[in-house]
Amino acid sequence: MMTPLQALQKYFGYNTFRHEQEAIVNRVLSGGDVMALMPTGGGKSLCYQLPAVLLDGLTIVISPLIALMKDQVDSLNVAGIPAAFLNSSQNPAEQSHIIAQLNSNHIKLLYLAPERLFGTGNKLVVFLRALPVPVAQIAIDEAHCISHWGHDFRPEYLMLAELKRHFPNIPVIALTATADKLTQKDILEKLNLKDPAVYISSFNRANITYRVNAKQNSFSQLLTFLENKKDESGIIYCLSRKSVDTLAQDLKAQGYLAEPYHAGLDGALKARNQEAFLRDDVKIMVATIAFGMGINKSNVRYVVHMDLPKNIEGYYQETGRAGRDGLSSSALLFYSPGDAIKLKGFVSIDGDPEQTRVMLSKLDDMSRYCQLPTCRRKFLLNYFDEQAPDHCGSCDVCLSEITKFDGTLIAQKALSAVTRLNGRFGSGYVIDVLRGSKSEKIRQEHKELKTFGVGSDISKADWQRYLRELVALNYLKFSDGEYPVLQLTDKSNAVLKGLQKVDLIATQTIEERETEELPFENDLFSVLKNTRRHMAELENVPAYNILSDATLMEMATYL
């Protein structure tokens, strides 16, 4: 039998394995289950294609991307690896032709989409049982689609949970480019993988520079950004279809080769725009997140987010489409707190409280990323549980595009308030004490404290930012649990003793970054939220049982 390395050279024309490919291939060949996390463009396909060539029997590949199956199958066939796909885009005659080919035990890989064809009950299991050839491996691409916690949940994927039960001895390999800890755990559980080996490759995209700008005159900022990029390819993501259409129009009016892409466009037009983009006839794809999954275009030089993404996983996946060729590329995001509030409203419309909670906390992480006083790359990598140095040297924070000032005194005030409150209160309460709240209850209880009112010169909103910054800098932390309280960390003492200087982002910079926010609504929103929290505490139920964030936001907007 050929060795994996020989097969790599013979069929794929590569001399060496990348990332964890070799270990993954060996694991599958020895019959074990695998979950592989590798960045987009990292070479996941090879992890099951190579075993498929070497194993006796058929490899089933589950993929949600019908549109890309044909390309993948064509290129396998060109490489001399017999492959086929079955999905609902084919007519019955085409489908039986493929089944006949399977009968002749000729095909090594069969791509299936868990949609109409196999989308209900046990149809897939029945189909696999009825195959005239043994199945040697099941590969599940874009495995995060099985998880509610992932950013692209597809209910059809849930039926894959049955596979391991019915075919306990066939190795299953789950692949994804995007899954945080929670999603990873969910994938393993849902797929019932047996003693799975988990391989995680480095997700660092060293050639991408990360920037966050205030969402203020974002169109003219965008034009400045694009000024010397007329010949470069880029993707610009917007939240809504309407803003995709408008922005594409506006860019065209400025002489850019831009076209829109979103799920509301006619299928033929979508295909045409996508192809024009791949061929470089169109330079800018203005799109909703419906665009991009599985697209393999190597020379995308920039990815812009005009609106706040819903979570870090989606954001990282989308920015990851830049610079696959390894050349220097940028990721630019326009942030406004108003966006975060708007998205919160959307999220909470969902009924399931557990899911709502997770989505809101992911949204919070996304907002936190935008307001980081520390290296953005480090935050992103840590988010995916990867270690990273404190400074990457190629994000806006590391490049010092953000003005900082000596905030030691502010930090000391905050930290000593937390100390005096014995680490038992949330940020809103700590701020009330710092600002010397007029609330009778708080006055009664805390007016004797040395820190009561020492921060009255700083607005509530600024205190919120400083506290968040101090948490990001690890001088304070939030406790776990439903009502997180502020607590000291082992770095706090040095600050309190004056041994550690603390640089904070200048408020003015922050204000410049947030001019588009809805200050009034925002305040009202947090007042309503506090009220809701008190009600929830009294009733001893989760806050969203009282009123959803969406309703609160509606009240805040219309009151």
List residues near ligand ADP by CB under 6 A: 14, 17-18, 21, 38, 40-46, 177, 296
Residue closer to Zn ion (CB basis): 398 or 434: 398
User: Binds 377, which of Zn ion, ligand ADP, Mg ion, none (CB < 5 to 8 A, cut-off by type)?
Assistant: Zn ion
User: Binds 18, which of Mg ion, ligand ADP, Zn ion, none (CB < 5 to 8 A, cut-off by type)?
Assistant: ligand ADP
Nearest to 191 by CA among 114, 289, 132: 114
Separation in Å, CA 480 to CA 49, 477, 484: 43, 9, 6
User: Binds 304, which of Mg ion, Zn ion, ligand ADP, none (CB < 5 to 8 A, cut-off by type)?
Assistant: none
Helix (H, G, I), strand (E, B) or coil at 489: coil
Token pair, residue 115, equals 């949609």
Q: Contact at 8 Å (CB) between 196 and 33?
A: yes
**Distance separating alpha carbons of residues 463 and 427, to the nearest angstrom:** 9
User: Binds 375, which of Zn ion, Mg ion, ligand ADP, none (CB < 5 to 8 A, cut-off by type)?
Assistant: Zn ion
CB 17, min distance to ligand ADP, A: 5
Phi-psi category of residue 41: left, alpha or beta, with phi > 0 → left and psi -120 to 50 → alpha? left
Number of residues that bind Mg ion (CB under 5 A): 1
CB 555, min distance to ligand ADP, A: 44
CB 312, min distance to ligand ADP, A: 18
Residue closer to Zn ion (CB basis): 25 or 395: 395
Site for Mg ion in 8-67 (CB under 5 A): 44
User: Binds 428, which of Zn ion, ligand ADP, Mg ion, none (CB < 5 to 8 A, cut-off by type)?
Assistant: none
Cβ contacts of residue 426 below 8 Å, gap of 6+? Answer: 483, 484, 485, 486
- Check binding of 54 to Zn ion (CB under 5 A): no
CB 44, min distance to ligand ADP, A: 3
Residue closer to Zn ion (CB basis): 91 or 400: 400
Residue closer to Zn ion (CB basis): 322 or 398: 398
CB 44, min distance to Mg ion, A: 5
Q: Kind and range of the H or E element at 461?
A: helix 460-472
CB 45, min distance to Mg ion, A: 5
Residue closer to ligand ADP (CB basis): 7 or 238: 7
CB 493, min distance to ligand ADP, A: 45
Cβ contacts of residue 346 below 8 Å, gap of 6+? Answer: 550
CB 294, min distance to ligand ADP, A: 8
**Distance separating alpha carbons of residues 152 and 63, to the nearest angstrom:** 13
Q: Which amino acid is at 15?
A: N
List, as own/partner pairs, every contact residues 351-354 make where C-beta atoms lie below 8 angstroms and the sequence separation is at least 24, other chains included. 353/542, 353/544, 353/545
User: Binds 392, which of Zn ion, Mg ion, ligand ADP, none (CB < 5 to 8 A, cut-off by type)?
Assistant: Zn ion
Per DSSP bridges, beta strands 476-478 and 486-488 are antiparallel
- Check binding of 331 to Zn ion (CB under 5 A): no
Cβ contacts of residue 47 below 8 Å, gap of 6+? Answer: 21, 24, 25, 28, 34, 36, 38, 139, 173, 175
Residue closer to Zn ion (CB basis): 2 or 206: 206
Token pair, residue 390, equals 């404190």
CB 51, min distance to Zn ion, A: 38
User: Binds 528, which of Mg ion, ligand ADP, Zn ion, none (CB < 5 to 8 A, cut-off by type)?
Assistant: none
Residue closer to Zn ion (CB basis): 121 or 393: 393
Nearest to 300 by CA among 218, 224, 208: 208
Residue closer to ligand ADP (CB basis): 139 or 160: 139
- DSSP H helices, 104-180, are 123-130, 163-166
Residue closer to Zn ion (CB basis): 162 or 386: 386
Residue 334: phi and psi, rounded to 5, are -100, 120
User: Binds 395, which of Mg ion, ligand ADP, Zn ion, none (CB < 5 to 8 A, cut-off by type)?
Assistant: Zn ion
Site for Zn ion in 359-378 (CB under 5 A): 375, 377
Neighbours of 269 (CB within 10 A): 12
CB 376, min distance to ligand ADP, A: 23
CB 202, min distance to Zn ion, A: 16
Site for Zn ion in 371-410 (CB under 5 A): 375, 377, 392, 395, 398
CB 497, min distance to ligand ADP, A: 49
**Chain position whose Cβ is nearest to ligand ADP:** 43
Planar angle of CA 444, 449, 454, nearest 5 degrees: 105
**Distance separating alpha carbons of residues 124 and 289, to the nearest angstrom:** 29
Separation in Å, CA 206 to CA 202, 203, 209, 238, 331: 10, 9, 8, 25, 12
Residue closer to ligand ADP (CB basis): 46 or 286: 46
Neighbours of 153 (CB within 10 A): 16
The string over 235-257, giving b where at least 16 C-beta atoms fall within 10 Å of a residue's C-beta and e elsewhere, is bbbbbebebbbebbeebeeeebb
Residue closer to ligand ADP (CB basis): 46 or 340: 46
Residue closer to ligand ADP (CB basis): 38 or 146: 38
Q: Could you list the residues that contact Zn ion (CB under 5 A)? A: 375, 377, 392, 395, 398
Q: Could you list the residues that contact Mg ion (CB under 5 A)? A: 44
